[in-house]
Amino acid sequence: MKRRDFLQKSISAGLIAGASLKLTGINSLFANSINSLEKDYDLVAIKGGEADAMFDKAISEFGGMKKFIKPNQTVVLKPNIGWDVIPENAANTNPKLVSRIIKHCFDAGAKEVYVFDHTCDEWTRCYSNSGIEKAVKDAGGTIVPGHSESYYQAVEIKDGKSLKTTKVHELIMESDVFINVPVLKSHGGARITISMKNLMGVVWDRGYWHRNDLHQCIADYVPFRKPDLNIVDAYAVMKRNGPRGVSKSDVVQMKSQIISTDIVAADAAAAKLFGFEPENVEYIRLAGEANYGQMDLSKLNISRLSI
């Protein structure tokens, strides 16, 4: 489909919330509609469906959640729950996606599925008003607080340039499987926030990162405990005024999702979706240059799907 035709169709369907916001990146990511015959994918990019249905189809491309979870393992999910904002404003991860991931985890044999975030706004309001607390409980998961320093353990960040030590939530240290579920959105300090930056919600002192070269700290933390799976929620994308947003007018309905075991690749693809070249987002460039993952999407076996 030509870019002109896609944009016209999107507008007529009400996908653009505000005349100044454009779907600049969808075609660049989904331009190659022919998938490799080799099914061992590095990354899956999917568009056009509801968040739960897209995840069902995308995870099946990896062989299902059983590829990542063994029976009786403990799983921790880290969505973005940082803001006291309703789901429609897209400051937090889509609760429908969180619920469906939990279901797949239990279907794969998980013993427990924990969900938490070290929130920016008051944590009980974030958990409630994001819709994620209810989604977790309804799916049988366990929502866990992250507001007390007592939950965090001091660790050393080997080879860190700006980040040498930090305190990490005990669930990240103790769980068998770590699934990172960020929402794609704009960010005043980091340009965009995706998988790598979402890991700031597993540490106690986020302020240190902001005071000591934010992009380098984000990249420094990556190798400490890489997620086993990164699931980027790009269903509703805040294109401006992030990370908290102002209103629904900041949000574009992209109805997309990106899944990869490679956190750098996931962020590179999400940057393209947003409309940025990955190398122009400094923390993605730094992590790629440090060989923490693959920033060059042309070197990846990508499954591109539509619903």
Residue from 276, 290, 127 nearest 218 by CA: 290
Residue from 146, 292, 145 nearest 225 by CA: 292
Mean pLDDT in residue range 165-183: 98
pLDDT at 27: 62
Tokens representing 244 are 């908290």
Angle at which helices 282-289 and 263-274 cross, to 10°:
150
Give the Å distances, CA to CA, from 268 to 67, 141, 258. Answer: 23, 30, 10
d(CA 266, CA 226): 12
d(CA 263, CA 41): 14
Angle at which helices 51-61 and 95-107 cross, to 10°:
40
Q: Identify the DSSP state of 62.
A: T
Q: Is the pTM of this model over 0.85?
A: yes
Give the Å distances, CA to CA, from 39 to 23, 61, 79, 303. Answer: 29, 8, 28, 8
pLDDT at 29: 78
Mean residue pLDDT of the chain comes to 91
Mean pLDDT in residue range 199-222: 97
Q: Percent of the chain having pLDDT more than 70?
A: 88
d(CA 166, CA 163): 7
- Domains belonging to the chain, first-starting first, are 49-255+266-306 (3.40.50)
Q: For residue 243, is the peptide bond before it cis, meaning its omega torsion is within 30 degrees of 0?
A: yes
Mean pLDDT in residue range 235-261: 95
Tokens representing 159 are 């080879």
Q: What is the pLDDT of residues 25-50, one digit of tens each?
A: 666 677 654 555 567 899 999 999 99
Tell me if 234 sits within 8 A of 15, measured CB to CB: no
